[in-house]
Amino acid sequence: MRSYKTQMEAAKKGIITKEMEIVAEKENLNPESIREKVAKGEVAIPCNINHKSISPEGIGDVLKTKINVNLGISGDCKDYDNEMKKVDLAIKYHAEAIMDLSNYGKTNTFRTKLIEKSPAMIGTVPMYDAIGYIEKDLLEIKAEDFLKVVEAHAKEGVDFMTIHAGINKRAVEAFKRDKRTMNIVSRGGSLLFAWMEMTGNENPFYEYYDELLDILREYDVTISLGDALRPGCLNDSSDAGQISELIELGALTQRAWEKDVQVLIEGPGHMAMNEIAANMQMEKRICHNAPFYVLGPLVTDIAPGYDHITSAIGGAIAAANGANFLCYVTPAEHLRLPDLSDVKEGIIASKIAAHAADIARGVKGATDQDMAMAKARHKLDWEEMFNIAIDGEKAREYFESTPPEDRHSCSMCGKMCAVRTTNRILAGKKVEFEVVTADCE
């Protein structure tokens, strides 16, 4: 029987848990430094006591940037087997987290299987599940009903939950005053806003926040404080609604830490590149350096079908300036539920963004793979390059699609390969080309 409820409680008591030791080993850091940051709330290790298959990961400053993969069942796409194939892709490409955003039927069957098999941490948005789980219309749901769904997810083994507790009546007033182009684009946030407006009541997750924290503490669930008022287009970024909610999240962070509940802060969706760094710094200041979890940000609104790229650009800038956790975006964003190909594209784009940011931040060991790739390219060792690459399968497929005559080059340059030429000269060899005379008639 462990002598603490949560990772944060253990850290405050000076206890280095096995989860902290695993994170320290993965990050090439001292376990004591991890414990200190968990105690302060600057690092979170989402790890539900009932998630037995998890391989713990740390999220926060000085650690590698982590990525999350969204998937789940919807009313228009009920293929459980296909969603599980997406889980397999996420695990294959080393996504550190998977969020089950299922919003159709009895979602616990899929979620239970997901938690049983996944070494990645599992997140959910209980608000999505409330209507199906409770079998009531939105207007009929009571405050205590929402908490029942949270407890059900916690018991199943969910490691972190997005809870939109910051969209209280004060934040809603700011949102209404400052007219938006896109209004509310958060699914969970819009449902809570609708419930509040229809009932006239305060946000139940805000009004009963202490009771919510008691549930999360019991199972060591990390609260991911959702950004219900995140901007859904460039024109809405950094407005009164977004900032008002962020201020509320800062206060809620401290209240969670007082109960030894770990915290993530969720951040903006659409935002111009020149605003990103300032928003990262503002979150860290207002939310007391809690780990920051961002969706994108998407740096332009005009690229449907390519939003994995707009997101990767914003994610790289965000993570280089303080964000700690990137939520992937697929090419299907804004268009449809992503298929397997979309999921892979989204994972790889997000992985590239996270890795590029880690290099920029000087994270320990971040450039090791890049150095290995440079050495493999210097030797023109294609097999080694494929093994090192983030997506070696795609790299091999491209290389083999137009095979070169000489395996010591690729089909773009052939024997005029700069690496081959330089290597031969430095080895004291001649560089010779077969001259082909074109027929001219």
Please check if 407 is assigned to a binding site. Answer: no
Is 188 annotated in a binding site? The answer is: yes
| AA letter at 101 | L
266 is annotated as contributing to ligand binding: yes
Any idea which residue has 């790889």 for tokens?
Answer: 348
355 labelled binding-site residue? no
Q: Is 413 annotated as a binding residue?
A: yes
308 is an annotated ligand-binding site residue: no
Q: Which residue has the tokens 């900032």?
A: 243
Do residues 146 and 205 touch, judged by C-beta distance below 8 A? yes
The verdict on whether residue 94 carries a ligand-binding annotation is no
What is the amino acid identity at position 416? M
Residue 70 assigned as binding residue: yes
Q: Which residues contact 330 (CB under 8 A, 6 or more apart)?
A: 307, 308, 338, 342, 343, 345, 346
Whether 134 contacts 149, CB under 8 Å:
yes
Q: Is 424 annotated as a binding residue?
A: no
Q: Do 147 and 214 meet the contact criterion of CB atoms below 8 Å apart?
A: no
Residue 328 annotated as lining a ligand binding site: no
307 a known binding residue? no
Residues β-bridged to residue 69: 98
**Three-state SS string across the chain, please?**
CCCCCCHHHHHHCCCCCHHHHHHHHHHCCCHHHHHHHHHHCCEECCCCCCCCCCCCCCEECCCCCEEEEEECCECCECCHHHHHHHHHHHHHCCCCEEEECCCCCCCHHHHHHHHHHCCCEEEECHHHHHHHHHCCCHHHCCHHHHHHHHHHHHHHCCCEEEECCCCCHHHHHHHHHCCCCCCCCCHHHHHHHHHHHHHCCCCHHHHCHHHHHHHHHHHCCEEEECCCCCCCCHHHCCCHHHHHHHHHHHHHHHHHHHCCCCEEEEECCECCHHHHHHHHHHHHHHCCCCCEEEECCECCCCCCCCHHHHHHHHHHHHHHCCCCEEECCCCCCCCCCCCHHHHHHHHHHHHHHHHHHHHHHCCCCCCHHHHHHHHHHHHCCHHHHHHHCCCHHHHHHHHHHCCCCCCCCCCCCHHHCHHHHHHHHHCCCCCCCCCCCCCCC
Residues in the chain: 441
Consult the annotation and say whether 209 binds a ligand.
Answer: no
Is 270 annotated as ligand-binding?
Answer: yes
**Annotated binding-site residue? 440:** no
Residue 287 marked ligand-binding: no
Q: Which of 2, 393, 436 is nearest to 219 (CA)?
A: 2
Is 77 marked as binding a ligand? no
**Binding site residues for Zn(2+), as ranges?**
270, 334
Give the residue ranges of the annotated binding site for [4Fe-4S] cluster: 410, 413, 417
Q: Which residues are annotated as a binding site for substrate?
A: 70, 99, 128, 164, 186-188, 227-230, 266, 293
Q: Which residues are annotated as a binding site?
A: 70, 99, 128, 164, 186-188, 227-230, 266, 270, 293, 334, 410, 413, 417
